[in-house]
Structure 1
Amino acid sequence: MTVLFTIENGVARVTIDRPDRMNAVDAATADELEHIWQAIEADASVRCVVLTGSGSRAFSAGADLKSDSGKSGLEYWAAASINGFGGIACRASLTVPVIARVNGLALGGGMEMVLGADIVIAADHVRFGLPEAKVGRLPLDGGMVMLQRLIPRNIAAGLMMTGRMMSAADAARYGLVNAVVSEGELDDEVARWVDDILACAPLSVKAIKRSIRATAHLSDTDARALKTPELIHALNSEDSAEGVAAFREKRPPQWRGK
């Protein structure tokens, strides 16, 4: 088993389980992850995803170079998934929030999966990096595109052009990580973020994620004018009225996702 996948109480948990190879992702694991993301997208009960790696050594060290397909760099680039590494780095079709629970090294494709998350919680011993240049390759599966959009350009360039690693504290300082905690506090911190997401209206959360992802390249005026289906659905929903009613009646809202 390379990926552990469960859904419970609206939370999907996806765990890469390859401790013998630093939770590396080979072709079979990549296919399995793609099927999992599709299953999550098809399940209306899912309101949040927690993505992590097994153990505490690595979140994921990226592609499994020991099981290399034999493709050249150009052939790899030509065959790359539009969704990015692990099916999540550049995925545009997933509308529920993804929390990356970063429990260890996040390197190469592992960091690219972190870049595809909406919220990143990291243990304080974690280090991030895109070391592809050190082995004559490139961070093609989202790294070169996403990293410079999420942290300052020169910091991103420095990481990719040297293959250096960045600490969890520095990642938080540059805005890549939402919270840094000790390894023993990691699960409790993730649980708090999950609870806060579940306390919000699910259609509002989906509309916010879609707007963030769909408007980053637009001007303020064009971004405000973009009417995504998720935005219209949220504004016309029963939950929109329920939220206001619950506030006025001083009671917890009962979200129905309708």
Structure 2
Amino acid sequence: MALRTETDRETGVALVTLDRPEKHNAIDLATAAELAAAWQAFRFDDGVRAVVLTGAGGRAFCTGIDRGVDVPQPPSPYTIDDPLLTIGPKANDLWKPVIAAVEGMACGGAFYLLGEAEFVIASETAAFFDPHTTYGMVSAYEAIAMAQRMPFGEVARMSLMGTAERVSARRAYETGLVSEVTAAGGAVDAALRAAGVIASYPTRAVQGTVRAVWSAREAARTQAMAHAPHLIALGNLPPERQADLFRGRGGGEFRTR
């Protein structure tokens, strides 16, 4: 198991931990399935009223998809199969509050998770970056997720600078990605305290508020997400394959994130 789930039945708070520290908590297909199953299980568990999500080991919250993963793709250039699209709580119709607690690196596909948390607490060791453009890949879903949380210029800078620049916890706080910065090692405890407060309130009021907050941003996000597969499918192809597409030969491939 690459995912640990612990629930405090007294407080109603569940702690979900990505547990692949030797891989910097990168997500393989099994981990993606475990995450989806965990969110779905929480939907039916009235004893869970708030969730904290973190990564084991302290060196990384999550570094996106495990680059060793082979993801078979359909031949159409207009679609991709991205296993990270189903790893977040909102993608699994969970409208209970989720707080992300970040220690160390959070990069690339980690933004699928951060983008679906209600808010993010980070320790002073945290660093955020998006490596896609450095490796000739389109940052679409990641950039869309961060565009819901950060000013346009900050999202564009992080997405375009790739591995050349890392956003510190303090800068992330200043731009709105992070709501609280703690001392090293303190992110989980701070997130658990906040989750405990939220879990102590009437459940229907909390979940209704979560849904209302998300409804305010869903229209723009939905439109942007609809464009993402086409941008990725075309932009991630090598130049010769892009030329083939313009000549009408079709086909497609996916570079893991």
Q: TM-score normalised to the size of structure 1?
A: 0.76
Runs (4+) of structure 1 exceeding 4 A deviation are: 70-77
- What's the CA shift for 1:216? 2.2
Higher mean alpha-carbon deviation, 115-124 vs 86-95, is at 86-95
Identify which of 50, 58, 64 aligns with 2:60.
58
Instruction: Work out the number of aligned pairs and report it.
Output: 216
Q: Which residue of 2 aligns with 1:7?
A: 7
In 2, distance between residues paired with 1:48 and 1:19?
Answer: 24
- What's the CA shift for 1:75? 7.2
- What's the CA shift for 1:133? 1.4
- What's the CA shift for 1:184? 3.7
In 2, distance between residues paired with 1:71 and 1:148?
Answer: 27
Q: Which residue of 1 aligns with 2:154?
A: 155
Q: Which residue of 1 aligns with 2:179?
A: 178
Give the AA of the match of 1:146: A
Give the AA of the match of 1:125: T
- What's the CA shift for 1:217? 5.3
- What's the CA shift for 1:203? 1.0
Q: CA 1:6/1:86 → structure 2, altered by over 3 Å: closer, same or farther?
A: farther
Q: Contact 2:86–2:92 at 8 Å: present in 1 too?
A: no
In structure 1, stretches of 5+ residues that fail to align are 220-258
Q: CA 1:159/1:206 → structure 2, altered by over 3 Å: closer, same or farther?
A: same
Q: Which residue of 2 aligns with 1:210?
A: 211
Identify which of 79, 82, 85 aligns with 1:80.
82
Q: CA 1:75/1:97 → structure 2, altered by over 3 Å: closer, same or farther?
A: farther
In 1, distance between residues paired with 2:130 and 2:76?
Answer: 18
Q: Which residue of 1 aligns with 2:145?
A: 146
Larger RCO of the pair (alpha carbons < 8 Å, separation 6+): 2
- What's the CA shift for 1:146? 1.9
Q: Contact 1:109–1:139 at 8 Å: present in 2 too?
A: no
Q: Contact 1:73–1:137 at 8 Å: present in 2 too?
A: no
In 2, distance between residues paired with 1:24 and 1:72?
Answer: 24
Q: CA 1:13/1:161 → structure 2, altered by over 3 Å: closer, same or farther?
A: same
RMSD between superposed Cα atoms in Å: 2.5
Q: CA 1:76/1:118 → structure 2, altered by over 3 Å: closer, same or farther?
A: farther
Alignment partner of 2:41: what SS? helix
Q: Contact 1:122–1:179 at 8 Å: present in 2 too?
A: yes
- What's the CA shift for 1:76? 11
Work out the percentage of aligned pairs sharing the same amino acid. 32
Q: Contact 1:128–1:167 at 8 Å: present in 2 too?
A: yes
Q: Is structure 2 residue 98 aligned with structure 1 residue 98?
A: yes
In 2, distance between residues paired with 1:187 and 1:14?
Answer: 11
- What's the CA shift for 1:111? 2.7
Higher mean alpha-carbon deviation, 5-14 vs 116-125, is at 5-14
- What's the CA shift for 1:74? 7.6
Give the AA of the match of 1:137: M
Q: TM-score normalised to the size of structure 2?
A: 0.76
